Every structure is written in structure tokens, then in C-alpha cells.
Structure 1
Amino acid sequence: MKTNSSNKVWVGVDVGTTGVRAIAYNADSTNICSSEAFYPLLTPRPDWAEESPFQIYEAVEEVIRNTVDQLRYKNLKPAGIALSTVMHSFAGLDSAKKPLMNMQTWADSRSLDIVRELKKDNTLSHNFYNKTCCPIHACYPLAKILWLRKHAKDTFQKMKYIGSLKDYIFYNLTGEWVIDHSTASTSGMYNAGKMDWDEDILKYVGIKKDALPPVVSTTYHALLDGQIAERLHLSCGIPVVIGATDGVLVNVGIGAVNPGQLSATIGTSGALRMLTTKPRVDKYMRTWCYNLTDEMWVAGGAINNGGMVLRWLRDKVCHYSKNQMENIDVDPYDLMTLKASHVAPGADGLILLPFFTGERAPYWNSELRGMFFGLSLNHGRSHMIRAAMEGICYSLNSVFKALQDFGEIKDIRVSGSFTKSSLWLQILADVLGKELVLPDNSEGAAFGAAVLGFISDGTIKSINDTAKLVNIKKTYKPIAENVETYKQLYDIFSRLYYNLQKEFADIVSYQNQLH
């Protein structure tokens, strides 16, 4: 890296499922200041998960402006802004590129009837997967657009452009209508080999290529619009790097950038990811592979249900209201972790299948729902909390077993909100039976975005440079006795999934009839 790199500051903006964070970084990974804002996830029906793109964009401006103001107090100016956004979002846009609808998120599974029909054609499923590296699933915009065409014909006919959070935000900031390779590769309509939209798939979906943004590199930049710059308290003409998706940027942000390194994340959802120099597909279609840079890809698998399950327990089972917790100055998740720590590993035989919103990897099955199994009169809320933590780790273990086919895994680095819980980190180490490394920077995606900014201006040469910027804060070694307990319970967890396929489908069908 260049010697003057410490003088530059890039603001990494990480747009997540329920909130956005802007963090100002030096090239040595120093977090200078930050700001965050939140917005609601709208669930008007059991399978729907939407957000207002207008609310999200307002939140994006708010956190950038607040971070820029903090930098000014430190006599610093950002060299640019770089974006990271959540994957698989979709909204139909009108001719002025204004949303005609709420943004459907990755968790939206209303298209499961479409997916069910697509999966009946095994040849089509494998053909689409081998082209796109995306298994057929309701999370992908491919299925969302097909649903719109079938169930909301008026909106489909009015739709002139197809948008995601990334291109919508970038367009509002710069006036340029483009999408990065990373976000495009998470759509189910992008040909990984050609690194462009797949014409055959677009024809199948019933849309034209000019309805989609042109695809550009993740280090591509445009200049911030003058009026927007004024609102954000920035100079006119500052570069905005389009960046990548949050999932693939986590590896960069926590330094998991070398062969054999894996990142494990639990936030609202969860994922395991490893870098590869080319698109990789799994013969059983259990994993996905998304673009990071023109020369680098990330293979992995994401689970739908991570911290959102703990939030459900907080609100619906523990009833820890915000006012109640603030009055006693206690974080509700700290209290939940404390309660769970009083329960032995294995939660006295209580298992949670955490499929509240269906599941992505490795099952790719939207016709799933959550289930506590093994409940008895000696189980209480503490057991349910521990079983939830363990069940989410069992889901990640299913993905872990699939990724082992891509090569030896030597190092697992962790990130996401679950890193605040030593108990949860120890549970994951025990379930995987592997040592976990907690880096000193657990806000991976925001720093990963900033790294793409530093690469775009030449300050950092390559993403591999981040390996030496991230230090180890703590390691978690598996406890042999717990490993054996979790092996036994994971086996039951897996059999429950496979043995209850019809029952899951039937209960989802019943629930859908209620609305």
C-alpha cells in the first residue's frame, strides 16, 4: 500500500435488512466514527417481507450526513463513499425509476408456488443453477418477478425498470442507473460465466434486458449529485463507489480472504462463505456463488433465520419491551444470554428448527416453518432461548457440511451481531467442532465496502491486503464434551427436517388459506 494511505478516509455504507450503518475508515481499518439508523420490516402476510425504499433511502442520507458531520469535527474530509447492500431485493419501477411497490426483501417467500413449479422441471432447475450459481428459491428476484407477472399483472405491465436496493440508492445519489456484478449475481438472472444478464433466462421471465441496469465492476464509481452533496454536507463531485453485497464483503472486512478461510456470520439471518477465484457450483445445488470483484467470487450458503428468531423470542415469549429494559438499564439480549447460560448444552433435549421464514441453504425450501421439538414440563423460557441459539447453529452446520466439498477449511472467522455473545460463539464452535476466530473488526461489510473504495483510488492494491489489517481479538475452541452432545442432537435435527417434508408443506398450505 502507498505511504499516504493513512491520510485518506472512505465512508463505508452498509444497508442491511432492518438498518443502515455508515462507518468512516482509514485504509489501515481504523474505525474513525459512525452513525446508524433503522427502518421496519413489513410483514402484512405470513410469506411477505417488504420494506419501503423511500424510508431506506432517507436513512442512508441520514447516516452519511451524520458521519460526515462527525468527521468535520475531527477536521477530516472523506475521499469518497462506498456502498454495501443486502442481497436479493426487488421492486418494479416506473419510467422515472420510481418504485411502484414496496421493496421485496430476501426473506419474502410469497413466490413459493412459482418455485414449486420451477423445481418440478429438474432439467430447467439444473440449467438455471449451472448458469447463475443460484439455486431455484423464493429469495431470488427471478422468482419474485415471475410472481408479479402471475399475481399482480397491473403492476407488472406498468413496470418499466427492475430495481434492487443497490441500483436504486446509487441512482438517487449519482443519477447513474447501473448495477454492480455482485448484486447482479444474486438475482438468479445473471450468467456467471459471461458476467452479464442471461438472455435466455430473461426471455423465460418475460422481461427485456433494457429493463435491467447495465452491469459494472464493484469498484466502479460515479460522482455524487450536486444537490444531494449539499444535503449530505459534502463537496460536489465526491466519488461514490457502487460496491458489492453485504454477504461477500464480510469476508473482506474480517480478513477471511485466503484459501481455506471461512467467514461465519449471524445477524438478522446467517451465512458461511469462502473466497474462490472462479464460480463454483455444487452437484446437489446446496450452495450459491456470487461475484466480489472481476477476479474473485464467494461460494457459500445463507440461512434465513438468525437473530430474527431471538428478536421473536424477545418480543413474543420473553416480553422484554424496550421501555421496560431501559428502565432497568439492561440490554434484553444480554439478559436472554444470561438466562440461556444457566441451561446445559443441548437445552435438556429441546430442539428448535428455526425455519420461521422458510429456509435457504442447504435445503432451499420455502415450505418450512419453525418448530420446538422435545418440549416437556421442565422446559422454560431459558431452555427456549438456548435451543434457539443452538438451532440456528445447527442450520449453519448444514451449510458447513456442504462447503467442505469445496476444499479443506483451515480457519473460521466470525462476524455479525452474535459476536456480542460469548455463549453463542462457544455454541457455534461446539456445533461445528472447529475453532472460531473473532477479529477485532466485526463490522465486516462496512469496512469491506470501504476497501473497494480504497482499491478504486489505488490506495489499496487488492482485497488480499486486508488479511494483514485485521487482528485477532479472541479464539473459541470447541469443548469435546459439548461437541459430542451436539453431534447427537444435530442428527435428530437433520432427521426431523427430512422426515416432515409433507407436514411442513401441508401446514404452509393451511396458513396461506387463512389470508
Structure 2
Amino acid sequence: MTMDSANQEVWIGVDVGTTGVRAIAYTEDGTNVCASEAFYPLLTPHPDWAEESPLQIYEAVETVIRNTSSQLRYKNKKLAGVALSTVMHSFAGLDVHKKPLMDMQTWADSRSSDVVREMKKDPALCRSFYERTGCPIHACYPLAKIIWLRRHQNELFSQMKYVGSLKDYIFYHMTGEWVIDKSTASTSGMYNEKGLEWDTEILSYAGIDESYMPPVVSTTYSHAIADAAAEAMHLPKGMPVVIGATDGVLVNVGIGAVEPGQLSGTIGTSGALRMLTKQPKTDIEMRTWCYNLTDDMWVAGGAINNGGMILRWVRDKICHYGGSALENLDIDPYDLMTMKAEHIDAGANGLICLPYFTGERAPYWNSELRGMFFGFSLNHSRSHMIRAVMEGICYSLNSVMLALKEFDEVQDIRVSGSFTKSKLWLQILADVLDSPITLPDNSEGAAFGAAVLGFISSGHLKGISDTAHLVHPKKMYMPQQENVAVYHELYDIFVRLYQNLQKEFVDITAYQKHI
């Protein structure tokens, strides 16, 4: 870009995640001008439940936008607009006034696994729904959540007049208009990706009709901010708010994985591998999903349920590093865990972790899986467990990788997420995938991706491919062949453990539900 950065247009990209929200102001050349973040709790009142308060999340969104816009004024930067990114698969029933009747179910909520189990007894129905929506049958999707509500909380279901997601809830409160973007709609399990409309047959199967659903708009659609929201967030009246897309698909844009053969790899709370495609693509084995990004671009991929959350579990429950003692010593517990794991050879001396603590999405789409450590012997320690968790999460991503390779040749893997702070974990991923991986200079993928949709909406960028030159490699990690051989052997055992313990997974999940 030849334009003086001081005079460039600035957009705030808002990335609403599972447990926190970031608002980051960007110029169109990808410069991070300023940022703010806030956090909120994930509520787990019962086994398999994972909820959040939409009111609490919206308050956090207000806070970070207000703080970021204030910083821009101090920096004498003119703000052009705000663009949104939110997590996928959220659901809350709304009343006639579009107020939530309940806390919002997140992607991690698997209480509807009984619904999914029943649906999977009809393979033809599952394949039909998958090929029309790009969404495998799984408890993470709002389709199953709505059916669960109808069966188990019928009084609330009867009060529900609208089906809400986190995206349309935030956009409605910011603009007064109730619509949903194509990206979020395509992650619901109820949006027909060929007809680009709500699938009336699937809605009927869920027990609702189109009147419950918000109108679907492009991910670059904008509306002027409502006066009350502008005042609360310290934004100019009439400023455009771009509805944006979901965080998973925006990561590709944010880290520059926008060309054929490029993959984005992420490990945060969960994890995913994704590639762009010009049209919706489905997998013959139904291992992957496909969601919308822009009007002429889709993202095929697979998300795993269990990423950094499992390492956090090891931090708190195994290593007991979750207290304030380490903070008082200015020691990051994850740095200490990584240091311990670095002293362990690849393969963790034969200790394998199946990281299915909250069931699994891709490639198995099975909410009745549970985590396990296999191969314990007396020489294993907490350090081995730390490394085994890192490796097990990478094994799960490798299962997704093998499915995506059937869509296109993989030429470049770019990574983002909190795991990029760990050189060890990045090297393990390169070794397990047996592919070079690139750490880009921009790791805040979804927030920048949202801002890009703002620039496209305003006409400053023509399309997402314009961002390819804005993100540059920071470091490359090459697979170490001696480790590749180790991981190839252990990955085969990892897969066979899943295959051979199907009945045991079902039985232990059923037992746990009745405790």
C-alpha cells in the first residue's frame, strides 16, 4: 500500500469467542492500531451442558468496542465502521420481543446427543441433510438443539417465537435489524447451501417453520448503528455495522490462507483445519463440514472439540498450576508445562492421549466419545502427560487433514490460535502432519478477517484475495523425519483405539449421565 497509514480508513473487527471477545482496529494494510478484550464465563450447570449468557456477552462487546473507539480518538484515527465475527453453532430460543428465554447453548453443549443417536439410525436421512446443508449430524448444531428443547423443555419451546444465535442477537441490539449472515446460517444445519435459503423440510423436522428464522443476508451486509448502541459504545451516529461471518471461516482471511491449496490450522479452546473452495463441497464419508464465507467463497474443513481446553485441564487438575502462586512469581504456567514436555522424547514414551473429553466433532461426529490416556507404565510422569496431550490433539487434526487432502492438494498450512505461543507444539504439529507449517505475522485471524469484510463492504477492498499480500510468514516449522516416523506408528494405534472401543465409549457415557 502506498497510502500514508495515518490517513487510511480504520475498521474495528470484533471477534466474539467462546470465553472472551476482542475488538481490534485495523487499517486496510493489516496494521493493528489498537485493541481491547474482555472475558465471560462458560456455564456448565449439568453434565454435557455448556451455556453462556447472551446479555453478559453483549455487555462485554459494548465494553471492548467502547474502549477501542476511545483509543482511536486518542490516536487521532477516524473510524469507518465495525464488523463482527462470532463463534459458530450457538442457539437460544427468543420470545415474541426477541428476548432470550434461556441461556445460549454453545457449540460445546452436547445435551442433544440422544437426538443425534436417534437420527443416525436413519443413514439416508443423515446423508440427505448433510448433502443439503454441509453440516454432519451432530449435537453441536442448532438443529439438534432445537429438537432437544422441543422434547425436554416443551414449555419453553412453546414460548419460542424466534430462533436466535449469538450473531443475530448482537447485530439486532447494535442496529435494531434482525437478520443473519450466510456464514452463520450455514453453520446451523438448517440452511440449504445449494438453494441459499432455509430448508423448509429440515425446519419442519425440527418442529418449526421459516417464520422462526431471521432473513439471510451476505456477510458484507451493513446497517447503520442504532442511536442507543452508538451512545453506549462511544461511536458516531449512523456508523455502519457489517454483520460479518463466523470465526472459523474468517481465520483463513485473517492469516492470508486465501489461495488454492492453502490451509489454516488453529488450536485455541478447540481446533480446526480449513481450506477455501469456490463452491460448497461435501465428503463422501461425511467427515467434514462446509460453510459460507462470502457470496462466491466457501470454507471446507473440520473442527475438533478438544484443543487447548485439555491442556488447561492438565494445568489445573494434574499439574495444579492454576492458582496465583506462579503468577506471583511472574511465571506463565504454560511456559513451565512446555519446558517440562520438551524434556520428553517424541511419542511420550508410548503414552497416547485420546483428547475426546467433550465428545468429538470432525472427523467422527460422535458426542459419546470420552477422553483417555493409553499405555501408562511406571516410568510415565506429568511431563509425559503434558506432551501426550499436545500430541493427541495433533493426532485429531491429522484425521481432519487426511479428509481434506481428498478435496485438493495441500501446498501451505498457516497456523493461528493460542498454541502458536508454544514452539514445541508448533513443531509437534509439523511432525504429526508431516508437512511444513507457517506461522504468519498476524495471529489474530478472525478479528482481521472481520475487518476485511468491512473494507470489502465499503469498497476499499475488492475481495478476500486482496489480503494475500498483507500477511507474511514469520517463521516456518519443518517436519523432523525421525519424529515423523514415531508419530506415524503411534497415530495408527490412536485410530485403532477409537475404532475398537465404540461400545465402551457408549457405555461409559451412559454411565456418566446417570451419576
Equivalent residue of 1:54, what SS? helix
Equivalent residue of 2:320, what SS? coil
Aligned equivalent of 1:178: 179
Instruction: Compute the displacement of 1:3 (Å).
Output: 5.0
CA distance, structure 2, for counterparts of residue 382 and residue 253 of structure 1: 34
- Tell me, yes or no, if the aligned pair for 1:256 and 1:263 is still in contact at 8 Å: yes
TM-score (norm 2): 0.99
CA distance, structure 1, for counterparts of residue 208 and residue 2 of structure 2: 46
Aligned equivalent of 1:36: 37
CA distance, structure 2, for counterparts of residue 306 and residue 105 of structure 1: 16
CA distance, structure 2, for counterparts of residue 206 and residue 72 of structure 1: 49
CA distance, structure 1, for counterparts of residue 8 and residue 284 of structure 2: 47
CA distance, structure 1, for counterparts of residue 187 and residue 373 of structure 2: 32
What amino acid maps onto 1:316 in structure 2?
K
Aligned equivalent of 1:386: 387
User: More deviation in 177-186 or 229-238?
Assistant: 229-238
Structure 1: 4+ residue segments shifted above 6 A = none
Instruction: Compute the displacement of 1:4 (Å).
Output: 7.6
For residues 267-307 of structure 1, the C-alpha deviation after alignment (integer angstroms, 9 at most, x for no partner) is 00000000000000000000000000000000000000000
Equivalent residue of 2:406, what SS? helix
For residues 425-458 of structure 1, the C-alpha deviation after alignment (integer angstroms, 9 at most, x for no partner) is 0000000000000100011000000000000000
Matches of residues 27-426 of structure 1 in structure 2 within 5 Å?
27-426=28-427
Aligned equivalent of 2:488: 487
TM-score (norm 1): 0.99
Instruction: Compute the displacement of 1:77 (Å).
Output: 2.5
For residues 298-340 of structure 1, the C-alpha deviation after alignment (integer angstroms, 9 at most, x for no partner) is 0000000000001111111111134112111011111111111
Matches of residues 433-444 of structure 1 in structure 2 within 5 Å?
433-444=434-445
What amino acid maps onto 1:432 in structure 2?
L
- Tell me, yes or no, if the aligned pair for 1:220 and 1:242 is still in contact at 8 Å: yes
What amino acid maps onto 1:13 in structure 2?
V
Equivalent residue of 1:301, what SS? strand
What amino acid maps onto 1:467 in structure 2?
A
CA distance, structure 2, for counterparts of residue 24 and residue 452 of structure 1: 13
CA distance, structure 2, for counterparts of residue 325 and residue 215 of structure 1: 48
Point out where structure 2 has 5 or more consecutive residues left out of the alignment. Answer: none
Equivalent residue of 2:138, what SS? coil
- Tell me, yes or no, if the aligned pair for 1:2 and 1:459 is still in contact at 8 Å: no
CA distance, structure 1, for counterparts of residue 312 and residue 189 of structure 2: 30
What amino acid maps onto 1:233 in structure 2?
H
Equivalent residue of 2:476, what SS? strand
CA distance, structure 2, for counterparts of residue 470 and residue 353 of structure 1: 34
What amino acid maps onto 2:286 in structure 1?
M
For residues 32-71 of structure 1, the C-alpha deviation after alignment (integer angstroms, 9 at most, x for no partner) is 1101111111112221111111111111111111111111
CA distance, structure 2, for counterparts of residue 42 and residue 341 of structure 1: 34
CA distance, structure 1, for counterparts of residue 35 and residue 117 of structure 2: 43
Instruction: Compute the displacement of 1:196 (Å).
Output: 1.1
What amino acid maps onto 1:338 in structure 2?
M
User: More deviation in 2-11 or 498-507?
Assistant: 2-11
- Tell me, yes or no, if the aligned pair for 1:286 and 1:301 is still in contact at 8 Å: yes
What amino acid maps onto 1:442 in structure 2?
S
What amino acid maps onto 1:102 in structure 2?
D
User: More deviation in 258-267 or 5-14?
Assistant: 5-14
For residues 133-178 of structure 1, the C-alpha deviation after alignment (integer angstroms, 9 at most, x for no partner) is 1000000000000000001101100101100000000001111000
Identity, % of aligned pairs? 73
Instruction: Compute the displacement of 1:227 (Å).
Output: 1.4
For residues 167-204 of structure 1, the C-alpha deviation after alignment (integer angstroms, 9 at most, x for no partner) is 00000111100000000000000000011110111111
CA distance, structure 2, for counterparts of residue 404 and residue 280 of structure 1: 13
Instruction: Compute the displacement of 1:346 (Å).
Output: 0.5
Equivalent residue of 2:275, what SS? strand
User: More deviation in 439-448 or 43-52?
Assistant: 43-52
Equivalent residue of 1:406, what SS? coil
CA distance, structure 2, for counterparts of residue 192 and residue 85 of structure 1: 20
For residues 442-479 of structure 1, the C-alpha deviation after alignment (integer angstroms, 9 at most, x for no partner) is 11000000000000000111100111000110000000
CA distance, structure 1, for counterparts of residue 319 and residue 78 of structure 2: 45
CA distance, structure 2, for counterparts of residue 293 and residue 443 of structure 1: 20
Query: 2:408 matched to 1:430?
Result: no
CA distance, structure 2, for counterparts of residue 27 and residue 464 of structure 1: 13
Instruction: Compute the displacement of 1:376 (Å).
Output: 1.3
- Tell me, yes or no, if the aligned pair for 1:68 and 1:77 is still in contact at 8 Å: no
What amino acid maps onto 2:400 in structure 1?
V
Equivalent residue of 1:468, what SS? coil
Distance 1:223 1:401, change over 3 A: same
Equivalent residue of 2:324, what SS? helix
Aligned equivalent of 1:468: 469
For residues 90-142 of structure 1, the C-alpha deviation after alignment (integer angstroms, 9 at most, x for no partner) is 00011111111111000110000000010110110010001001000000000
Point out where structure 1 has 5 or more consecutive residues left out of the alignment. Answer: none
Distance 1:2 1:237, change over 3 A: farther
RMSD: 1.0
User: More deviation in 56-65 or 38-47?
Assistant: 38-47
Equivalent residue of 2:82, what SS? strand
Aligned equivalent of 1:505: 506
CA distance, structure 1, for counterparts of residue 498 and residue 488 of structure 2: 16
